[in-house]
Amino acid sequence: MTERLLNNKVCIVTGAAQGIGKQIAKQFAEDGARVYAFDRQEFASDDERIQPMVLDLLDSVAVKAAVMEIYKKEGKIDSLVNNAGVVFNRKIGMITRDETELMFRVNVIAAIELIQLVSRLMARNKCGSIVNIASVTAVLGSPGQVAYSATKGAIVAMTKSAAKELAPMGIRVNAVAPGIVKTERFEELYEATGEKIDQRIGRIALGRLGTPADVANACAFLASDRADYISGQILGVDGCASI
């Protein structure tokens, strides 16, 4: 019998109640991991390998308590996926300071704080994988997403720097940069930009929108031992939209 990709790995996935995060948690569990699924809203899972944990990532005390609870129970944390994010699709003249600040607090600062916490624990075992969810907008830009794109650009820079800093501890850090993924809220982008979905698909070489499974499969690979020599990389999962 072939060993599963993440067999007996202990993984944390943030923003796991819906969309891409939910699919990442599901994929990791299918690949053999024990998944601690963070989200601020109540949610349930029918998979015994997925343990929902309700908390607000902006509550640093609650986040630290949850991470330490996992470590005390499992004795290790093998992987962290920083997927949780906030997006306001607004033109430059319409985005508010409060909206911009919230995106940076959730998308960037909360991710950095989780990396701080988890990397200290991973370092004890001299191994671990951190996967951050960036976006193709960090590379290509996107009208109607100036502030959001800025947060994802910060994720790209953070990933590259953290990879170099944590490498001596045996910890790998990578990012997945999705293109347009068909989730519950993807249509909001087109309402904000006025662009037609067919126009965007026409600029994707593979000719279709991405799915949460496309992103989840990439994350599972980067979290696995098969990616043991891969760090500091930004993996585009965009159907070749960047070319």
| Amino acid code (one letter) for 40 | R
The string over 11-43, giving b where at least 16 C-beta atoms fall within 10 Å of a residue's C-beta and e elsewhere, is bbbbbbbebbbbbbbbbbbbbbbbbbbbbbeee
CA neighbor of 67 nearest in space, from 6, 21, 119: 119
Give yes or no: 190 in active site: no
Tokens 């965009």 — which residue? 238
Of 36, 71, 148, 190, which one is the catalytic site residue? 148
CA neighbor of 175 nearest in space, from 137, 141, 120, 142: 137
Residue 152: both structure tokens together:
């994802």
Q: Beta partners for 53?
A: 38
Element (H, E) at 171: strand 171-178
DSSP 207: S
Tokens 């909206």 — which residue? 99
Q: Just list the catalytic residues.
A: 148
